[in-house]
Structure 1
């Protein structure tokens, strides 16, 4: 009965992502991506379109028609260059680089670039204090130890970081009362601890190049598909691909990468899966 009430309450808070909302959302995300690309090109910073965004560029030359986000990957060294540019005030004030160093309430393990003066609130995240506007995701890649033992230990510690950061959402979004109680307990661990542990893992692993790299605090790429990480050599060479009529950077071996992630990536999913995957409780485009 408690699970049913929880599902009903969540459904009440959700808004339907209509084609009009999706179009406006994608337009704002593209605006953010264009500014990000400009800064990177002017300052010799490498990055690549990632995930569904990379797939969209290859298969659709733009957004997957039902996709509701933009994903970017970049190595830690390139992200830190970008971060310094942001903190130096060299990025348009319309945009906000959101991570734990710029937003003390932020509880997500990877940075985002938000468009100021927008609202994009996920259902079940209304209680979170960090600003929730339209954004693109920046997945920062850190090295994975080459040793089999330390790879396993590294993955375990990354898992712990991720769960601590998710806990404040999990205590509201978990599907049953037992799990919500569990996440309530985990949420007592300060986010500062998780970010500190992740920074230590990144520092130790990044002292020298390794065979694999990964996003430490996000289960992507799926470990069931990519094991402990993705080959670092994928990030050694870049090309450009068309996305919504504009050229953006992508790993040169995008076919190998997309096959690794999705298998036969040119095949469309079934009709019932061709829908936005984010549940929203509030959305507002750029305020005039």
Structure 2
């Protein structure tokens, strides 16, 4: 996806597809929510640029930028931070600068707001009107971003301890006020202490909680950021004594890729993430402090108002009943066939005696070529069965949008593996042939907001042209670890689909995924349907053989890729290749050590014999920003580049050509980047560089 900037946001239609990222399903609506957050951010950044205010990606947004190159797949927050002075200035001007529909939320401008951070949202009501939906990529829900202020910590330790103690008393009083009557004796005594220590008067009425929050905010910002060496995110620092950072980490800004834009991050981002998360490259898919997805409450309100979810399929009791009736009739026919005498015995001979062999027919209806791998195990099973004649009919698909408008038609027959004989779906006579089995993988029928197929290939129609309709999900996601976790919630959208209801059999990738499907459908339909779903949903564990030979789609492309790769390697062609990725954050972490560490690594590669080649790739931010941040370090780096170019077993890849050939890598060495997660997913060994070794 081409990168753009926040002042020129562009999202291709493909961005809004349901997508599995790192084993986690990201739904189309979540993608629309993400895009809308970036739209809100673009307005915030316009103000920051106009008034020369510095902002930085923070928390999960910073972690996603560095670790994933975009959103953390299982996250839906968007967080930025500013130094307190810039934060105050932003909220002074935001209301007049932002679009009229926007809501600017702080304690001082909204008495009903209860957070000790700021927030900007694009509206305060669900809006599925055409103008709003067009502007916010088909997302009708209120979308916002959080703005955290960074406050100073007193250099005087005693003074800081006093500030923390006073602030903790205010937060304790706030907790008591939320739990107890304002006339509570313990609260009353605590308020008197707070008034004396902070020279304030607190009202014993319904305004008390707001006054306590405002006082806490005042205490948070008591120490001027410019007069301290450390800053902190006070909502976490005060109660837990963490989220403390050297102010110098925020001196310089670089722009890193995030989805299809660039975000401001502090140039020494890896040090900040070390302090904030520890081992920040290790993933935790269960994190978060709010309900997932963040718009789930609004989604329920809208569905209740309209009577269904307007942007995806909503389970229909009548369709479920028809599915159950079809299943019972099919089981009855199967029993009848088993008990009746067969044609051979009645004729006193066999089909083989007459020379005729009658095969059953199994028809596979893949859609996108990249989805084929989920169908392939079952296809192989039928291909190996001499009793079946197998047809693969790649069906066309069309782009569509949240309004149901149909776009370009796509025919991907030429993109399937060469060993799969793909036929023309328009020439197959379904009604006359009436295949015994049809296997489909498009779940949506007419309920997708990003793609569709001809209505003939809807699961609700296909069931009339076969004895057994099998649905295999096209996506390969990890099964939920426990009921109600984020993966459970995200995947629930794909279980409540027309194809799951209409199919006679649903085949999923693992026993764990089967358990999830069964449990979810019982949750939706009631425990009395348990036997039905347990019989209907099956698992098909993939074999190692299937995993191995389903990767490459086109042998000619393979040969072309290998030729280009070998040409790039030159005299090192045929060797194992280690990608050595260097980031600006590593260079700035300790300018006295970083260059020396890299030189020692080069010496190791030089002495490694004739089996390994190291490809040294500099992060683009080194080339774009390092000279402006630290001229002396830039000079050391350019000298280092000259050494790389003359070091045995090393190639300097300034333009990142090698990054497009991950399937050729033998290993990854270097610094934290989104490449690490990609290597982990691809099974490529990873070693993170340690500056002290």
Q: Do they fold alike, i.e. is TM over 0.5? A: yes
Task: Provide the residue aligned with 1:230 in structure 2.
Answer: 245
**8 Å contact 2:83–2:225 — kept in the other structure?**
no
Distance in 2 (CA, whole Å) between partners of 1:27 and 1:142 is 30
- CA deviation map 1:261-287 (0-9, x unaligned): 112212222x5x27x6422661259xx
Distance in 2 (CA, whole Å) between partners of 1:143 and 1:70 is 23
**8 Å contact 1:109–1:165 — kept in the other structure?**
no
Distance 1:56 1:182, change over 3 A: farther
Distance 1:113 1:162, change over 3 A: farther
Task: Provide the residue aligned with 1:255 in structure 2.
Answer: 270
SS of 1:205's partner is: coil
- The structural deviation recorded for 1:64 is 0.3
**8 Å contact 2:152–2:221 — kept in the other structure?**
no
Distance in 2 (CA, whole Å) between partners of 1:137 and 1:49 is 10
- The structural deviation recorded for 1:239 is 1.3
**8 Å contact 1:47–1:73 — kept in the other structure?**
yes
1:201 paired to 2:222: no
Distance 1:69 1:207, change over 3 A: closer
Distance 1:27 1:207, change over 3 A: closer
1:99 paired to 2:99: no
Task: Provide the residue aligned with 2:91 in structure 1.
Answer: 83
Task: Provide the residue aligned with 1:154 in structure 2.
Answer: 163
Distance in 2 (CA, whole Å) between partners of 1:109 and 1:35 is 22
**8 Å contact 2:105–2:119 — kept in the other structure?**
yes
SS of 2:263's partner is: strand
Structure 1: gaps of 5 or more residues? 1-16, 120-131, 172-179
Give the structure with higher Rg (CA): 2
Segment drifting more, 153-162 vs 105-114: 153-162
Distance 1:164 1:265, change over 3 A: same
SS of 1:109's partner is: coil
**8 Å contact 2:114–2:213 — kept in the other structure?**
no
Distance in 2 (CA, whole Å) between partners of 1:221 and 1:257 is 18
Aligned match for 1:282, one of 297, 313, 323: 297
SS of 1:219's partner is: helix
SS of 2:164's partner is: helix
Task: Provide the residue aligned with 2:228 in structure 1.
Answer: 210
- The structural deviation recorded for 1:248 is 1.6
Aligned match for 1:245, one of 253, 257, 260: 260
Aligned match for 1:136, one of 134, 139, 145: 145
Distance in 2 (CA, whole Å) between partners of 1:259 and 1:64 is 17
Distance in 2 (CA, whole Å) between partners of 1:198 and 1:204 is 10
Distance 1:245 1:221, change over 3 A: farther
Distance in 2 (CA, whole Å) between partners of 1:56 and 1:108 is 24
1:74 paired to 2:82: yes
**Cα RMSD (Å) of the superposition?**
3.4
Task: Provide the residue aligned with 1:265 in structure 2.
Answer: 280
Distance 1:225 1:51, change over 3 A: same
Normalising by structure 2, report the TM-score: 0.32
Q: Which of the pair has the greater relative contact order for Cα pairs under 8 Å at 6+ separation?
A: 1
Distance in 2 (CA, whole Å) between partners of 1:20 and 1:207 is 41
Normalising by structure 1, report the TM-score: 0.71
- The structural deviation recorded for 1:83 is 1.6
**8 Å contact 2:40–2:144 — kept in the other structure?**
yes
